[in-house]
Structure 1
Amino acid sequence: MEEWPKHYSPKEIEEKWQKVWLTEDMWRDVFRFKDEDTQRKPFVIDTPPPFTSGELHMGHAYWVSIADAIARFKRIEGYNVLHPQGWDTQGLPTELKVQYKLRIPKENRELFLKKCIEWTEDMISKMKTAMIRLGYRPEWERFEYKTYETSYRRAIQKSVIDMFKQGRVELRDGPVYWCPKCETALALSEVGYVERDGILAYVNFPLKDGGNITIATTRPELIGATQALAVNPEDERYKSLIGKTAIVPIFNKEVKIIGEESVEKDFGTGAEMISTYGDPQDIKVKLKHNLPSTEMIDERGRMKGTGILDGIKIEEARRKMVELLKEKGFLVKVESIKHNVIAHTERSDCMSPIEFLTKKQIYIKVLDVKDRLLEEYKKMKFIPSRMSYYLETWILSLEWDWNISRQRVYGTPIPFWYCKNNHLVPAREEDLPIDPNTTAPPFQKCPVCGEELQPVKDVADVWVDSSISALYVTGYFSDKERFSRAFPASIRLQGTDIIRTWLFYTFFRTLMLAGNVPFNEVLVNGQALGPDGTRMSKSKGNVISPLDRIDEMGADAIRLTLLDASIGDDFPFKWDKVKAKKTVLQKLWNASRLIYPFIKDNKIEAERVEPKDLIDRWILQEHRRFILNAIDAYRRYDFYVVIQGFYDYFWEIVADEYLEMIKHRLFENDAAAIAIVRRIMKDLIILLHPMAPHITEEIYFRLYGEKKSVLLENLPDISYIKEDQEVLEKGKVIKKFSSMIRTSKISRKLAMPTPVDVKYYADKKSLDVIREVENDIKKTLKIENLEYIEDNQEKVELSVHGS
């Protein structure tokens, strides 16, 4: 064995082990999910397939650390672990990069798709390299999947056709959420409210019988699309006007005044215009009262069909309509307000206000099973438990079925043809995957009504792709034998931000397709924030990449820092914390280096030797307590508890107390001391490995090397250590006495090796404990003379020996 370097060099050691873990031998013996293994219980992790942005941000690094730690622990625990990694490849941002950065027009479909895939592969390569540098080791060999690839696309299309056969997939004409900037329809899960500056315009609508009714609107540009005026039927001001006719200003169109309970009496004037469509309220009232519709906004967010504002953007149209209303005498006043606007919030680089357009779209029906979803989700255990509230709240809030049509190019083709009567005709399963744009339909005419068929040109929402992840990796589409043993997946890992998308859609689709929940447990992590405690943002300048100082600090220290937080809580990421974790690892390195000469050729196991004295019995009790607590915390995914317990036990007891006290015994070749320190250090390395895999693999190889990886070891067995609370209490006395001596030396500015004489004042019980370990204590703390004085107040008096 080569000499043991004094300083731990993370970059050199980490890159060495990352290469080793990727070898075929290690894959075959350590990281491979063994389909043929029917003895060990499978443990399947459903990991997030990140969008292929090319950048591995701190959020990625956090779940990568969680996923890898769980997979490694479960391997040590004895499970047959299936640790996949997917890539969400078909997002709109890639299209925009190819369209505007590479300047490839979407109309050149074949070249455009080719360049999208090339861009995707380049981004995956960058992210994968960064993941590996963090020590992440899923089963790349068999369970890496990309949502655009043939086998995965076939599964996506089959899943949609299966849902069609259940009567869940429909083609409908109706209002959809539309992003004019991205020029595509959106699902409810992709939109949210953002606060924006706006106006509230007070406008007089003439009454046909004489007089006016004043409405207040934030969307004066849509006055031409007004279908009715609505007032609350309980509003005394307007009761007499219900059923009367008003004239739409500028457009001279007659509309009825209707009673509608949802109108807020205290907002604006208490009277509002129902236009098609200004907001979700307009849609609800339109459907409830069977009103007609008039679309005045096109797919690019420009006005149409007005005769006076056509071709101009919405913001400009709003200003011009206000001027026109003022000029014609209809405008009462305009107020500046801040209000919530529905925007494309799922894409942080968009955030544009959405519009409601009437489109022919494909929907998957969800609303009819809301009650079932609200019951079935309870079968999944949430970690932390409070996170189930967000899924339940989302299900309760659903008001629309899932629109899966997207007006893009780089996505999974929706495998249907349709006729003018909105009948859908699915592709044959044996032909999957297919693109209806380039493939003939299975019938010449619609088999329902005999009309001509044309292809569905839209592609699927990306959540249609990623929502089958649990089914795909467990073998639902390809390996029924694996599926019978591996489904439901053991755990789903994800952040809070995709509860209403990835979690909900996976839960819903799996329940509909396989008749069960997709996973047994759902672990929802919080966010790694900037050093200032706010969400990382380039505009704030507080973004930290996990790779910024990885060569200096090491992946293990970064992983320990990310995992040193309670699951579900947000936390600020600071390099000072990483530096502190690196110091702990250096301490582990130093302790391992210290014992190396004494244990490298000594294979005796701790359970085969009798503890020599109280110090040995004490460390074994502390060891037992740490091992039990750590294993229990790992099983609860409470990495914070493991890390804190490791620090308290290893640093403050093993390194600062026990190793110092038995150092002289090691040099004396004391069998008990050597066997015990060999065992406790090995157990520590095994239990720290899931979170800090590189340094533990290196130390294991140097100190033990009995197997090719720590991951082939078993969980520490401490059954040979019988619980003894009395010994633990005695240990506290030893630790406190030692601390008092060191503190006294520091306060008197004495070096630790300085020989001293000590008077120890304490009760008889404490004095007896120190007498029991006097020889080791005196050698460790360099005490020449130790005098015991019975006293109710515990203290030490120290003097330099010989002075």
Structure 2
Amino acid sequence: MSDQQVPFNLEKTYNHSEVEDRWRSAHWEALGTFHAEHSRVHGEGRKPYSVLMPPPNVTGSLTLGHVLNHTLQDIFIRYSRMTGKEALWLPGTDHAGIATQTVVERKLRKDGISRHDLGRKDFLTHVWQWREEYGGLILKQLRRLGISCDWRRNLFTMDERASEAVINAFIALYRDGLIYRGKRIINWCPVSQTALSDEEVIMKPRRDQLVYVRYALAKDPARFITIATVRPETILADVAIAVNPQDERFRDLVGEMVVVPIAGRHIPVIADDYVDIEFGTGALKITPAHDPNDYAVAGRHNLPVISVVGKDGRMTDEYGYMGMDRFDARKKIIADLDELGNLDRVEDYEHNVGYSERADVVVEPYLSEQWFVKMQPLAEKALQVVNDGEIRFHPPHWINTYRHWMENIQDWCISRQLWWGHRIPAWYGPDGQVWVADSYDEACRLAGTDKLVQDEDVLDTWFSSWLWPLTTLGWTGPKSDNEDLRAFYPTDTLVTGPDIIFFWVARMIMAGMYFKGDVPFRDVYFTSIIRDMKGRKLSKSLGNSPDPLKVIDTYGTDALRFTIIYIAPLGQDVLFGEEKCELGRNFATKIWNASRLVFMQREKHFEGPEDFARYYEGFDPSLESFDMAGRWILSSYNAMLERYHAAFAQFRMNDIVKTVYEFFWGDYCDWYLEALKVTLAEGCSPVDARKAVALAVHVLEGSLKALHPVMPFITDEIWHSVLPRPATQSIASSEMPVPAAAPVAEEGFGLVQKVVTEIRSLKALFGVPPGLRAEVRLKGARSAAGASLEGGLSFIAALGQCTPSLLEDGTRPPHAAASVVDGHELFVLLEGLISFEKERSRLQKEIQNVSNYVAQLQKKLSNSGFADHAPEDVVMKEREKLADAEANLLKLEDNLAVLSD
């Protein structure tokens, strides 16, 4: 859009596509609206506020999870920008080692090529080409969502600066003794062919068979010791049978040798406290190469380690199963054990099994040499800052989850058997010695030889992500510093899903405390989990995950953003159905139509845009006097702003949208704009009319600003029609309204509202057609209150569609529906509005039906068999039904009396 001025009024119909196309992120970016500068922090003293974008995978596309997460971040950043802070939102993407390599390999396989055919260098060239072509898709989609990042700072985890930080962090940790290489049982993904950290393993319930197997004693083949296992295929790698030393059943067998079925090896029976006496038979096979606990037992008893399952999940044994898939081998071994007479029995068994998060296959415990980070020394300070409140969790119950994990933390396996990622900066000499350095030349200098070979593995993707608060601000290593870091670190608010509290949140806190000596952020907002209307998690396999871009096409970006925040209370799951976006779309239409109404009134009472601009720029509602409707809307507006800012301070984002929604739709549109019509139609002076219209615009503009963080497109569009503003300006750079220091309290119009509401209720109760005006008599409880009623008669007449007047005495008019509002008597005269005969007939039938229902309930409750023996809550519900029915009956009889007096 050029810098031309936007029309002074709006098109008749709201078209979200046209509006959003006009105010796309590209327009805001061109204006520099979202740019943040450290110079304004250091030089001008502006308070900094920074948000860290959880970097989406380059393989990703927009999901509803992204919509919720990034809309929340955008609300925080836009609000802070409008409250005068130097607001910086740091964007970026993650290289997603396993996911990206899998995508590229799949693409190559279609052409009959494997990565090994290409070699590492050429394969990485293909990956970079793929990234250049497809890796920016998620960012384009996020831009369509209207998010307000400082896109100049967009960082990719494999960029040169980020890569330098990763390598320097590895070297520093290694030299401080916190990174080591060791042989341990790790989680292995047979499909991705790489190690996985514990956090990349998803535990799922699985039904397997618990197989009971007899092991014959070597010296007495007629005697057996029976074990229970869910992995009979690993029997071929057994090195011992373990029993608990306190188990009297097996005490005489400790030290004896037994024969491994099929394999024929002799292995000892050992005693170890690890064995659970209650599980299975109380005897446990020890297979150290395929179970981390067994590996620990083997270490304590100096047992050998034998492996029979390879990296690809296929058998590597010498007993006739070599090359078979591990699960196929399991079935065959069970059959062979049965044939050999070693199978005791088989039972169904439900247990939790680890699956690879990426490949969704059962993880194989695998003995391998890998690189690890010692986590305990890093976890102590990271736990302390959360316990001490230096970092606050929202909702706070996630602290318990965080604390449990940190107190039971395990070392982090950081090496991955991939080609795509940050290659481990370690080189091996001819003698096997390891040299860790930032380059081959530096490693050669340290080793005193150029006969070095670099480690083939890359680092876990999360090893770059845990440095994200630092690298996004230009940090490249422990000694680096710059103006951005000094201005914007620590960041302020992290918005993320609770599912990565261990993957990412905890590790970022550790990295921040270790490398910078300070927390990486002050507050962590954990988003809700989005489910479908049946309560199921959204997933492609279930086909229950709507495409956000299609939802945007149908309902609009603002409608989707508004709806997803409106239905997402802090700490609660969200049930989302696409049809719920009707709420947001209807609200956007309401905002548009209300704005047009106000602008049309402006056209009637001002001589054009310049005339209004001159008047409005000097307009201060706190210095003006208004009628009761004007005083009331100012009071209500200030109360809304108080609740709005309080909700932000308490991270109640759901309350923010509800607060503005209820004020704008209810107080402003349903009441005040209707009252404004009355004010302007009564022939008020031109001076008062201009004041009233300016007040309506003032409250409208303030509401638009409050809504802008949630609904950026429609609010910027309408804001440009408030005054003749050029397109080079944006509401995003305007000042957020705050409550008045001494807001005006107005109760008179509140009484008018109650009276009007009661008139509408009585008319509906007696079936008065909506278009008919009723005669209404009012009697104030006190003289002051009566004055308020008298001052509000014109509003009562228009809003209640009636002809009201004040009663001089307390005589009740005949055939009048009566009520009391705050002590004031109210009578709606029904004569001439309805057919008394028809209404009496209808009421008599309804009274008969309710009377019969009351009699049934009374009979049921008087029955001692029911009252004395039914559950107490059931009896209570029946008594509540009776009370409600009796109250309804009294009301119907009163209404009949009104028509019969």
Q: Do structure 1's residue 591 and structure 2's residue 601 form an aligned pair?
A: no
Equivalent in the alignment of 1:409: 419
TM superposition shift of 1:757: 2.2
**Cα pair 1:171 1:423 within 8 Å, conserved:** no
Listed one character per residue, the Cα deviations across residues 617-671 of structure 1 (whole Å, up to 9, x for unaligned) are: 2222111110011011123331211122122211111111111112243464424
TM superposition shift of 1:243: 2.8
In 2, distance between residues paired with 1:53 and 1:635? 35
In 2, distance between residues paired with 1:705 and 1:282? 76
Equivalent in the alignment of 2:662: 648
| Range 55-64 or range 747-756, more displaced | 747-756
In 1, distance between residues paired with 2:253 and 2:385? 48
Amino acid at match of 1:212: F
In 1, distance between residues paired with 2:767 and 2:585? 28
**Cα pair 1:752 1:781 within 8 Å, conserved:** no
Listed one character per residue, the Cα deviations across residues 562-617 of structure 1 (whole Å, up to 9, x for unaligned) are: 11121232111123321022112211111111111444514142435433232222
**Cα pair 2:559 2:585 within 8 Å, conserved:** yes
Equivalent in the alignment of 2:233: 221
Q: Do structure 1's residue 358 and structure 2's residue 350 form an aligned pair?
A: no
Please point out which of 211, 216, 224 is paired with 1:212. 224
In 1, distance between residues paired with 2:574 and 2:803? 49
In 2, distance between residues paired with 1:235 and 1:489? 56
Q: Do structure 1's residue 775 and structure 2's residue 802 form an aligned pair?
A: no
In 1, distance between residues paired with 2:670 and 2:650? 29
Give the secondary structure class of the aligned counterpart of 2:136. helix
**Cα pair 1:51 1:88 within 8 Å, conserved:** yes
Q: Do structure 1's residue 759 and structure 2's residue 777 form an aligned pair?
A: yes
Equivalent in the alignment of 1:160: 170
Amino acid at match of 2:296: K
Listed one character per residue, the Cα deviations across residues 287-313 of structure 1 (whole Å, up to 9, x for unaligned) are: 343432111111111111333221211
Q: What stretches of structure 1 of length at least 5 have no aligned partner?
A: 432-438
In 2, distance between residues paired with 1:754 and 1:595? 27
Equivalent in the alignment of 2:243: 231
| Range 711-720 or range 484-493, more displaced | 711-720
Q: Do structure 1's residue 627 and structure 2's residue 641 form an aligned pair?
A: yes
Listed one character per residue, the Cα deviations across residues 514-556 of structure 1 (whole Å, up to 9, x for unaligned) are: 2222111111101221232210122322111211231231111
Change over 3 Å in CA distance of 1:333–1:239 after alignment to 2: same
Change over 3 Å in CA distance of 1:411–1:772 after alignment to 2: same
Alignment of 1:677-756 (within 5 A): 677-704=696-723, 708-722=729-743, 724=745, 727-728=746-747, 730-744=748-762, 754-756=772-774
Listed one character per residue, the Cα deviations across residues 147-172 of structure 1 (whole Å, up to 9, x for unaligned) are: 12222212221221222222212122
Equivalent in the alignment of 1:673: 692
Please point out which of 81, 100, 106 is paired with 1:100. 106
Q: Do structure 1's residue 139 and structure 2's residue 150 form an aligned pair?
A: yes
Please point out which of 118, 121, 124 is paired with 1:110. 121
**Cα pair 2:201 2:354 within 8 Å, conserved:** yes
**Cα pair 1:624 1:721 within 8 Å, conserved:** no
Change over 3 Å in CA distance of 1:242–1:375 after alignment to 2: farther
In 2, distance between residues paired with 1:376 and 1:230? 43
Please point out which of 621, 624, 627 is paired with 1:610. 624
TM superposition shift of 1:465: 1.6
Give the secondary structure class of the aligned counterpart of 2:664. helix
Give the secondary structure class of the aligned counterpart of 1:83. strand
Amino acid at match of 1:393: H
**Cα pair 2:644 2:659 within 8 Å, conserved:** yes
Equivalent in the alignment of 1:793: 820
Give the secondary structure class of the aligned counterpart of 2:249. coil
Change over 3 Å in CA distance of 1:19–1:461 after alignment to 2: closer
Q: Do structure 1's residue 252 and structure 2's residue 264 form an aligned pair?
A: yes
Equivalent in the alignment of 1:373: 382
In 1, distance between residues paired with 2:482 and 2:678? 61
In 1, distance between residues paired with 2:26 and 2:335? 71
Equivalent in the alignment of 1:434: none
In 2, distance between residues paired with 1:397 and 1:705? 62
In 1, distance between residues paired with 2:311 and 2:431? 24
**Cα pair 1:172 1:360 within 8 Å, conserved:** yes
Amino acid at match of 1:240: D
Amino acid at match of 1:712: S
Please point out which of 36, 61, 66 is paired with 2:67. 61
TM superposition shift of 1:792: 7.7
Give the secondary structure class of the aligned counterpart of 2:239. strand
Q: Do structure 1's residue 296 and structure 2's residue 308 form an aligned pair?
A: yes
In 1, distance between residues paired with 2:36 and 2:730? 16
Equivalent in the alignment of 1:283: 295
Please point out which of 316, 320, 323 is paired with 2:328. 316
Listed one character per residue, the Cα deviations across residues 101-120 of structure 1 (whole Å, up to 9, x for unaligned) are: 33242121333222222323
In 1, distance between residues paired with 2:652 and 2:140? 28
TM (normalized to structure 1)?
A: 0.92
TM superposition shift of 1:126: 2.4
Equivalent in the alignment of 2:400: 389
Equivalent in the alignment of 1:51: 57
Change over 3 Å in CA distance of 1:77–1:751 after alignment to 2: farther
In 1, distance between residues paired with 2:182 and 2:452? 16
Alignment of 1:165-204 (within 5 A): 165-204=175-214
Give the secondary structure class of the aligned counterpart of 1:485. helix
In 2, distance between residues paired with 1:625 and 1:619? 10
Give the secondary structure class of the aligned counterpart of 2:38. coil
In 1, distance between residues paired with 2:80 and 2:282? 61
**Cα pair 1:528 1:562 within 8 Å, conserved:** no
**Cα pair 2:52 2:491 within 8 Å, conserved:** yes
Please point out which of 511, 514, 519 is paired with 2:513. 511
Equivalent in the alignment of 2:842: none
Listed one character per residue, the Cα deviations across residues 746-795 of structure 1 (whole Å, up to 9, x for unaligned) are: 56776766544212366346544322322333344454342347698336
Equivalent in the alignment of 1:32: 35
Give the secondary structure class of the aligned counterpart of 2:195. strand
Equivalent in the alignment of 1:435: none
Give the secondary structure class of the aligned counterpart of 2:550. coil
**Cα pair 1:414 1:456 within 8 Å, conserved:** yes
Give the secondary structure class of the aligned counterpart of 1:93. helix
Please point out which of 582, 586, 605 is paired with 1:579. 582
Change over 3 Å in CA distance of 1:35–1:444 after alignment to 2: closer
In 1, distance between residues paired with 2:155 and 2:374? 28
**Cα pair 2:381 2:513 within 8 Å, conserved:** no
**Cα pair 1:203 1:216 within 8 Å, conserved:** yes
How many residue pairs get aligned? The number is 781
Give the secondary structure class of the aligned counterpart of 1:172. strand
**Cα pair 1:63 1:493 within 8 Å, conserved:** yes
Listed one character per residue, the Cα deviations across residues 709-746 of structure 1 (whole Å, up to 9, x for unaligned) are: 1122222133354363xx34x44322211222344555
Equivalent in the alignment of 2:891: none
Please point out which of 533, 540, 560 is paired with 1:558. 560
| Range 160-169 or range 704-713, more displaced | 704-713
Equivalent in the alignment of 2:676: 662
Give the secondary structure class of the aligned counterpart of 1:442. helix
TM superposition shift of 1:558: 0.4
TM superposition shift of 1:266: 1.9
Equivalent in the alignment of 2:349: 337
Listed one character per residue, the Cα deviations across residues 154-205 of structure 1 (whole Å, up to 9, x for unaligned) are: 2221221222222212122222211111110111111132222212221111
Q: Do structure 1's residue 464 and structure 2's residue 463 form an aligned pair?
A: yes
In 1, distance between residues paired with 2:36 and 2:831? 64
In 1, distance between residues paired with 2:698 and 2:831? 37
Amino acid at match of 2:820: Q
Amino acid at match of 1:61: V
Change over 3 Å in CA distance of 1:626–1:388 after alignment to 2: same
TM (normalized to structure 2)?
A: 0.82
Give the secondary structure class of the aligned counterpart of 1:793. strand
**Cα pair 1:246 1:256 within 8 Å, conserved:** yes
In 2, distance between residues paired with 1:662 and 1:645? 22
Equivalent in the alignment of 1:436: none
Equivalent in the alignment of 1:127: 138
